[in-house]
A and B are shown apart, each in its own frame.
Chain A
Amino acid sequence: GQNIDQPTEMTATEGAIVQINCTYQTSGFNGLFWYQQHAGEAPTFLSYNVLDGLEEKGRFSSFLSRSKGYSYLLLKELQMKDSASYLCAVRSSFSGGYNKLIFGAGTRLAVHP
C-alpha cells in the first residue's frame, strides 16, 4: 500500500530554523514534492526531489533519501508568514504510464514572535 507520515503540528520562533520530516512507503516511487498551504487557500509548490540529496531554494531546502523513504523540508530565518500547513506528496507511477500524487495529511506550522 501507500503510506505517508508527517507530524501533525509544529511550533517555532520567528527567525529560527525548523525541519519538517516526512517518511513514506509507496510502490513505484517517482519523486517527492513539498507544498505550502495557507489556511483557506490552495496549495502552492515549494520543491521537488527525485534524486537523493539536498535541494536548496532560498530560505527553503528539501532533502531526500530514497533508500530510507525519508524527506525533510528545512525552513530558515522563519517569518510569521511561514505559518501554514506543509504537505508532503509522493509521485507514484503505475501501469499505463500515469503518475499521481499521494499526499500526507500535512504539518501545521505555527511561527511565534
Chain B
Amino acid sequence: GAGVSQSPSNKVTEKGKDVELRCDPISGHTALYWYRQRLGQGLEFLIYFQGNSAPDKSGLPSDRFSAERTGESVSTLTIQRTQQEDSAVYLCASSRSGEETQYFGPGTRLLVL
C-alpha cells in the first residue's frame, strides 16, 4: 500500500518568506508526527497529532512554526518569515493508534537563502 507522502520534496525560498509543507499519512493512521533534521544531526521532534485530541506542540521552536491537521488525514506545517536557520529536512511520520512503529515519509528539504 501507499506510504507516507510529503510535498514538495525540495523547497528553496528567500529569507522572510512563508512556506507550507504538506504530509499525507498512511490511510488509517491516527497519529501523525513532524520532525526536523538538520544536516548531520538527529531528528528533532516538532509536533504530534493524535486523532481529535489537542496536538502536542511542545517541540515547535518558535511562534513562527505552526501545524494543522484535518481530521485524521493531511497535515500542513507552516513556517512564517523563514530564517536561514530553518534550513533542514522536515520529516513526517504516522502510526496506528496503539502501535509503536512510526513510518516516515521521504521528507521535504528546505533551503532558506
A residues bordering B, Cβ < 8 Å? Answer: 4, 31, 33, 41-45, 48, 50, 87, 89, 91, 96, 98, 100-106
Is the CB–CB distance between B100 and A100 below 8 Å?
Answer: no
Q: Report the separation of the CA atoms of residues A89 and B42 in the bound assembly, to the nearest whole angstrom.
A: 10
B56: chain A residues within 8 A (beta carbon): 96, 98, 100
Q: Report the separation of the CA atoms of residues A106 and B38 in the bound assembly, to the nearest whole angstrom.
A: 12
A33: chain B residues within 8 A (beta carbon): 100-101
Q: Report the separation of the CA atoms of residues A1 and B104 in the bound assembly, to the nearest whole angstrom.
A: 26
Tell whether B107 is near chain A: CB-to-CB under 8 Å. Answer: yes
Is the CB–CB distance between A31 and B104 below 8 Å?
Answer: no
Q: Report the separation of the CA atoms of residues A43 and B101 in the bound assembly, to the nearest whole angstrom.
A: 11
Q: Report the separation of the CA atoms of residues A104 and B48 in the bound assembly, to the nearest whole angstrom.
A: 18
Interface residues on B, range: 20 to 34
Option from B43, B54, B58, B100 in Cβ contact (under 8 Å) with A103: B43
Residues in B38-64 with C-beta less than 8 Å from chain A: 41-45, 48, 50, 53-54, 56, 58-59
Beyond A48-B100, A48-B101, whether A100 also contacts B107 by CB under 8 A is no
Is the CB–CB distance between A101 and B42 below 8 Å?
Answer: no
Tell whether B105 is near chain A: CB-to-CB under 8 Å. Answer: yes
B100: chain A residues within 8 A (beta carbon): 31, 33, 48, 50, 91
A-contact bits for B85-113, CB 8 A (1 contact / 0 none): 00000010000000011111111000000
